[in-house]
Amino acid sequence: MKAPKSKKLRLQKRLSEVDEIKLLDSWIEFGKPDSGSNPLSVPSLPTNAPIGRIGDNTFSQYAGCKRFNQLPLSQKTKDGLKDSKFSKMTEIQRASLPHSLAGRDILGAAKTGSGKTLAFIIPVLEKLFKQRWGPQDGVGSIIISPTRELASQLFEVLKSVGKHHGFSAGLLIGGRKDVDMEKEHVNDLNILVCTPGRLLQHMDETPNFECSQLQVLVLDEADRILDVGFKKVVNAIVSQLPKHRQTFLFSATQTKSVQDLARLSLKDPEYISVHEESVTATPSRLHQTAMIVPLDQKLDMLWSFVKAHLNSRILVFLSSCKQVKFVFEAFKKLRPGIPLKCLHGRMKQEKRMGIYSQFCEKRSILFSTDVASRGLDFNKAVDWVVQVDCPDDVASYIHRVGRTARYLSAGRSVLFLMPTEMKMLEKLQEKKIPVQFIKANTKRLQQVSGLLAALMVKYKDLQSLAQRAFITYLRSIYKQRDKEIFDVTKLPIDEFSASMGLPMTPKIRFLNQKTKGQKEQKEASLPLEVPIEENLLELSTKSVDKSVDDEEDFLVKKESPDIEIGKETSSGNILPATRIGKKKKLKINIHRPAGTRVVFDEEGSTLPPLATIADMSGSGSPVMDREKVNKRYAELREEMKVQDKEDKFLDRQRRKEKRIKAKNKLKRGAEEDEDDVEGDDLSESDRATGGQKASKRSKIYFDSDNEDSEKKGGKNNIGFPADSISLAQQEELALKLLSSMNS
Ligand SMILES: Nc1ncnc2c1ncn2[C@@H]1O[C@H](COP(=O)(O)OP(=O)(O)OP(=O)(O)O)[C@@H](O)[C@H]1O
């Protein structure tokens, strides 16, 4: 994007640009498709047909053409496209460009990896070119993306395709330290590629930030940007933009909400959904699979998957930063034999960018949150997308799997579903997503929970990472909106904790944590509660894909041993796998008091407290050493005595305080009553009530003193032994008190 050097050359350029723009305007006007029409249905031009002006005020047809050079585009854009090796258009480009070049607003929807980026970058460049936008004109276009990585990627495409234009463009994303420098230059930029937060920051903080002349606004991943998470920010941004502008909204899962469109003041937008008629909502070269993986087997399954695909580039999705951190750190320590990387929103921006580009280059495994789920184009070379945690919804699934099988390349994906999440499979099928239900080859399943427990003894940090990951995962399920799929109460919480190698299940405050017994009962009935549809069973039998190579052996169960993952029972239900080869727990089950030492066995598993005093030398069940047990009980009795003393002391203190408070209250009450009755001429009945009042007060007084009297050898404050005073005496005393008050 450099300006031509000499003055003469610049003038020449300007003149020829003016002519070029005139030609383009006439060409566009001449052949613009009717509003609402689909350019894809127009027969395309023969390849050798003349392009551009073909007679007086007649031009070649461009709606329906297949190549970029047949479009009414500036030479600079055509050169940029050629340099970037783009010649043939994709469907979304063919369908949308004739409308967008004609100045219309676009709502574009097309599958992931189908080339939506060029579908908006090209008209942005063209609009500013035809407006003869220059550095002095300020911000002419804003392109908003939901994530920093995606914004950076869009910026690269813009730089590459727009390199022959003279516009200045800037990438404004959060997490960068140079915000002050950005503030100095932002008013000189013509095209801003940004995340919503950073753009609003500039709108709020940058002196004289000006975008009143904005020509084109683009929302990439529009449905994401318009959803609740960004709502306030986006509303604030849009309120500062001029209404008269061109607007493009693109996504693989487009919003059709009238409210959203109204918020953006779209004018009769062209709704372009090129794959609406398509048999599938996901790329045709994407081979998608799903399998049942109980929560407490997810790590075993993931580990086994990784070990079986050491020569691939795998993108693994987990539900939270903490999950990502834990799995990444744990697997790194287990050394799987392939480079591991992690990406999440809490990382520093430079690091995030570094990881992103490293993953594009080398075979490796990237553990990520949904920060990498949308728009990212990892050099078209992701072999596998593994969804360890179920996506929030169908849209999220589509974007995650869309990181593979981009443009013309193929890809594979696997979704781990817990037995309780089977409804997701139905929802995917309803939305035309062809997912094959497969079974894992459990013979190749490798367990990691024991190894993780051992690692936690050595690395304390790992244990706290695991605890946080555990809680965050459960919280994420708890907070999910779709309760048909996500039900935290049905999760095997203790087993999950054990599968992460944790010595004990962390306390979960947001859940009314049930006792283990209650949970076990619930889990025992779980498989039968899982709604399994007939078609799912059909799918599972159809699922063995003969074409899969040996690497996939792991995912496709070729023989059928006894009941294992996804195995159909005689009653027609699929049982979730039980924990395979799970170490038999010691039968001694004494609740360990809080704060006692956690003891590990040689393999790093935790032992119940009394297991340490059990005699394990013989074979079979452990035998108790009587002497040790008695000693232990004696210790416990001593501990309890001490505890009891402390409790009694505290209780006495509490009672004393309460008594003092009551006394003071009574005193205050008496003083107030004295004021009230002063000078009153009490009738008989009033006196009677007053008497009751007084006796009531005195009763409280006595009651509260009873405890005291016990301590003082049974004497109350006014000298009577508390238990020797009769009811008649009490009444007499009360009347005395009353009359003394009234006198
Ligand atoms: N006309 C084209 N010719 C060749 N390659 C193209 C063309 N258009 C786009 N591509 C390539 O296809 C890949 C996917 O494009 P792009 O990232 O724009 O997809 P997308 O539809 O925006 O995907 P997502 O929905 O995931 O954001 C990129 O690598 C891009 O370079």
pLDDT of residue 439: 87
pLDDT band at 251 (very low <50, low <70, confident <90, very high): very high
State the distance from the centre of ligand 1 to the C-alpha of 155, rounded, in angstroms.
Answer: 14
What phi and psi, each to the nearest 5 degrees, are found at residue 162? -95, 15
The closest alpha carbon to 72, from 91, 110, 45, belongs to 45
78 and 122 in contact (C-beta within 8 Å)?
A: no
Centre of ligand 1 to C-alpha 353, Å, is: 20
What number of residues does the chain have? 743
Which H or E element spans position 77? helix 75-83
Place of tokens 């591991």: 340
Amino acid at 264: L
Maximum average pLDDT range among 305-314, 355-364, 678-687: 305-314
**Does ipTM exceed 0.95?**
yes
CA of 375 to the centre of ligand 1 (A): 9
Ligand 1 nearest-atom number relative to CA 251: 25
Please compute the mean of the pLDDT values over residues 326-339 and round it to a whole number. Answer: 96
The per-residue pLDDT for 513 is 55
Higher pLDDT, 543 or 405: 405
Torsion angle of C-alpha atoms 527, 528, 532, 536, degrees rounded to 10: 60
Half-sphere exposure of 314 (CA within 13 A, CB side): 24
Phi and psi torsions of 87, nearest 5°: -125, -50
Q: Residue 173: its pLDDT value, please? A: 93
Q: Please give the distance, rounded to the nearest whole angstrom, from the Cα atom of residue 116 to the centre of ligand 1.
A: 6
Beta-carbon contacts of 662 under 8 Å, excluding residues fewer than 6 positions away, are 700, 701, 704
pLDDT at residue 672 greater than cutoff 90? no
Confidence band, pLDDT 50/70/90 cuts, at residue 59: very high
- Which range among 43-47, 107-111, 686-690 shows the weakest confidence by mean pLDDT? 686-690
Whether 433 and 396 have beta carbons less than 8 Å apart is answered as no
Sequence-separated (6 or more) residues with CB below 8 Å from residue 715? 709, 721, 722
User: 424: buried, middle or exposed (CB in 10 Å: 19+, 13-18, 0-12)?
Assistant: buried
pLDDT averaged over the chain? 78
Q: Report DSSP letters for 614-657, one per residue.
A: EE-SSSSS-EE-HHHHHHHHHHHHHHHHHHHHHHHHHHHHHHHH
Better pLDDT: 109 or 15: 109
| pLDDT (0 to 100) of residue 555 | 61
Is 100's pLDDT higher than 80?
yes
Distance CA 415, CA 437 (A): 9
pLDDT band at 568 (very low <50, low <70, confident <90, very high): very low
pLDDT of 508 higher than 80: yes
Inform me whether the pLDDT recorded for 380 exceeds 50.
yes
Spacing, Cα 377 to ligand 1 middle (Å) = 8
Ligand 1 atom nearest to 375, measured from its CA: 27
pLDDT of residue 178: 78
Q: Is the pLDDT of residue 215 over 50?
A: yes
pLDDT of 57: 83
Q: What is the pLDDT of residue 33?
A: 95
pLDDT at 200: 95
Q: Are strands 567-568 and 574-575 parallel, antiparallel or unpaired?
A: antiparallel
d(CA 96, CA 698): 90
Instruction: Give the per-residue pLDDT at 577.
Output: 32
Higher pLDDT, 22 or 738: 22
Q: How far is the CA of 404 from the centre of ligand 1 (A)?
A: 12
Which of 90, 156, 370 to probe ligand 1 with, by most ligand atoms within 8 A of CB? 90
Instruction: Tell me how far the alpha carbon of residue 115 lies from the centroid of ligand 1, in angstroms.
Output: 3
> Mean pLDDT throughout 450-457?
92
pLDDT above 60 for 552? no
* 220-234, 257-271, 385-399, 691-705: least confident range: 691-705
Nearest CA to ligand 1 atom 5: 86
pLDDT given at position 697: 35
> For 119, how many CA atoms within 13 A lie in the half-sphere containing its CB?
32
> Among the atoms of ligand 1, which is closest to the Cα of residue 402?
26
Q: What is the pLDDT of residues 631-655, one digit of tens each?
A: 766 777 777 777 777 778 788 878 8
- Over residues 250-274, the mean pLDDT reads 86
Closest residue CA from atom 30 of ligand 1: 115
Ligand 1 first shell, C-beta below 6 A? 86, 88-90, 93, 110, 112-118, 252, 375, 377, 380, 402, 406-407
φ, ψ at 283 (rounded to 5°): -55, 140
Residue 32: φ, ψ to 5°: -65, 135
Q: Whose CA is nearest to atom 31 of ligand 1?
A: 115
* Number of helical (H) and strand (E) elements in the chain, helices listed first: 24, 22
State mean pLDDT over 412-420. 96
State in Å: Cα 384 to ligand 1 middle: 18
Q: For residues 48-57, give the mean pLDDT.
A: 86
Encode pLDDT of 533-548 as tens digits. 323 323 333 333 333 3
Pocket test for ligand 1, best of 94, 114, 374 (most atoms within 8 A of CB): 114
Confidence of residue 212 (pLDDT cuts 50, 70, 90): very high
- Token pair listed for 590: 């004494």
Question: What's the confidence (pLDDT) of residue 419?
Answer: 94
Cβ-proximal residues to 55 (8 Å cutoff; 6+ apart), any chain: none
pLDDT bin (cut points 50, 70, 90) of residue 707 is very low
What confidence score (pLDDT) does residue 644 get?
77
Interval 368-380 mean pLDDT: 90
The answer to whether residue 238 scores a pLDDT higher than 50 is: yes
Q: 304-322: per-residue pLDDT in tens?
A: 999 999 999 999 999 999 9
CA 501/CA 467 separation, integer angstroms: 10
Q: Return the ligand 1 atom nearest residue 114 CA.
A: 21
Lowest mean pLDDT: which of 165-169, 187-191, 503-507, 527-531? 527-531
**pLDDT exceeding 90 applies to what percent of the chain?**
52
User: Tokens at residue 415, please?
Assistant: 């979704």
Ligand 1 center to 144 CA (angstroms): 17
Indicate if the alpha-carbon torsion angle 23, 25, 30, 33 is positive or negative. Answer: positive
Whether 42 and 63 have beta carbons less than 8 Å apart is answered as yes
H-helix or E-strand spanning residue 342:
strand 340-343
What percent of the chain stands above pLDDT 70? 72
Q: What is the pLDDT of residue 596?
A: 43
692 versus 158: the higher-pLDDT residue is 158
pLDDT score, position 629: 60
Range 458-463 average pLDDT: 91
Atom of ligand 1 nearest to the CA of 153: 17
pLDDT of 612 > 70? The answer is no
Per DSSP, helices labelled H in 510-625 are: 516-524, 526-529, 534-542
Instruction: For residue 21, give both structure tokens.
Output: 């723009």
Q: Higher pLDDT residue, 301 or 550?
A: 301
